[in-house]
């Protein structure tokens, strides 16, 4: 059952990723060609002319064929960032995660397991689900009378299984975000190189027309550099932010698991006295 759930989630995640990647590149190409490349943005009414003064869309259009790719990569970062934000926020549950953890730990230490389970039901989300599974297992081992070490192993195994079901959903698409960090830089560098090639080709020709080609080539190089840096910077911020959030959720589950195990040890120790 767990494998079916993982496989289904993976297939849906892969389909979503494919749609976002193709759509983002498509939107980038359309925006570059039909919006930024509109004749009204250029002198003479055609996109082969010089950009109108202070018309930044025309300037970006002159960045060349790498620009729509970079725009697509930037759009991917934005879309995957929003998607991860909603998923991770949902995983934390309905209320404050800190308040929930304090409430659950207080109930566990006091031996109010039913109240802790009720709090998990109200909180919902991946963290609450994993903790609830551990609490239910706690009640089971308590009824069966396991010793402390047997209970610890059983509860830890339950937490690991519950986490293995919940956490992969949180880590989906994080690899894509980390890849976009490198792709943004590399694509921007490629645009920079092609722009500089055009610039030096114009410089080698000499004359007024070639000087214009030099200026256009340098402009293309700088536009691609700026877009690539912006894409990579945003991807780095998003990746580190969501990684930190996932680590916090994982720590919350581990902390609750440790509290449950220690509570059971205390319970078994009180019986022996």
Residue 42 backbone dihedrals phi, psi, to 5 degrees: -125, 160
Statement: residue 150 has pLDDT above 80: no
| CB neighbours of residue 166 within 10 Å | 20
Dihedral, 69, 72, 76, 79 alpha carbons, nearest 10: 170
The whole-number pLDDT of residue 23 equals 95
Residues 172-207 have pLDDT tens digits of: 889 999 999 999 999 999 988 888 887 777 776 655
42 Cβ contact partners less than 8 Å away, ≥ 6 residues apart? 48, 49, 50, 51, 52, 55, 58
Task: Answer yes or no: are the C-beta atoms of 192 and 66 closer than 8 Å.
Answer: no
**Rg of the chain, C-alpha, whole Å:** 28
Between residues 43 and 244, which one has the greater pLDDT? 244
Average per-residue pLDDT in the chain? 83
Between residues 28 and 139, which one has the greater pLDDT? 28
Task: Answer yes or no: are the C-beta atoms of 191 and 220 closer than 8 Å.
Answer: yes
Statement: residue 155 has pLDDT above 50: yes
Within 31-65, where are the H helices?
Answer: 56-61
By CB neighbour count within 10 A (0-12 exposed, 13-18 middle, 19+ buried), where does 87 fall?
A: middle
The whole-number pLDDT of residue 53 equals 82
Residues 69-94 have pLDDT tens digits of: 999 999 999 999 999 999 898 888 88
Q: What is the pTM of this model?
A: 0.83
Dihedral, 16, 237, 171, 180 alpha carbons, nearest 10: 50
**Share above pLDDT 90 across residues of the chain, in percent, rounded to a whole number:** 24
Task: Answer yes or no: are the C-beta atoms of 77 and 21 closer than 8 Å.
Answer: no
The whole-number pLDDT of residue 183 equals 92
Statement: residue 11 has pLDDT above 70: no
DSSP 4-22: HHHHHHHHHHHHHHHHHHH
Statement: residue 101 has pLDDT above 70: yes
* 120 Cα distance to chain centroid: 26
**Share above pLDDT 70 across residues of the chain, in percent, rounded to a whole number:** 88
What is the rounded distance in angstroms from the CA atom of residue 153 to the CA atom of residue 104? 21
- Element of type H or E holding 46: none
23 Cβ contact partners less than 8 Å away, ≥ 6 residues apart? none
Residues 211-256 have pLDDT tens digits of: 666 777 788 888 889 999 999 999 999 999 999 999 988 888 888 8
* 27 Cα distance to chain centroid: 21
Mean pLDDT for 25-41 is 91
Statement: residue 4 has pLDDT above 50: no
The whole-number pLDDT of residue 1 equals 44
């Amino acid at each position: 059952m767990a494998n079916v759930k993982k496989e289904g989630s993976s297939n849906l995640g892969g389909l979503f990723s494919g749609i976002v990647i193709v759509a983002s590149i498509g939107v980038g190409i359309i925006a570059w060609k039909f919006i930024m490349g509109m004749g009204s943005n250029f002198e003479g009414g055609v996109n082969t002319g010089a950009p109108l003064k202070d018309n930044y869309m025309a300037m970006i259009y002159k960045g060349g064929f790498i620009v729509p790719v970079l725009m697509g990569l930037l759009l991917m970062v934005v879309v995957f960032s929003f998607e991860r934000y909603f998923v991770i926020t949902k995983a934390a549950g309905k209320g404050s995660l800190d308040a929930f953890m304090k409430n659950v730990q207080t109930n566990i230490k006091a031996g109010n397991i039913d109240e802790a389970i009720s709090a998990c039901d109200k909180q919902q989300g991946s963290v609450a689900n994993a903790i609830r599974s551990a609490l239910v297992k706690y009640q089971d081992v308590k009824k069966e009378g396991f010793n402390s070490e047997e209970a610890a192993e059983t509860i830890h195994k339950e937490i690991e299984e519950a986490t293995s079901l919940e956490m992969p959903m949180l880590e989906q698409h994080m690899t894509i975000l980390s890849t976009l960090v490198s792709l943004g830089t590399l694509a921007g560098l490629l645009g920079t190189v092609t722009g500089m090639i055009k610039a030096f080709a114009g410089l080698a020709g000499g004359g007024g027309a070639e000087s214009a080609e030099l200026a256009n080539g340098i402009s293309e190089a700088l536009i691609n550099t700026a877009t690539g840096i912006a894409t990579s910077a945003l991807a780095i911020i998003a990746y580190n932010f969501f990684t930190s959030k996932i680590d916090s959720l994982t720590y919350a589950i581990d902390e609750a698991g440790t509290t449950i195990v220690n509570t059971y040890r205390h319970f078994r120790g009180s019986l022996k006295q």
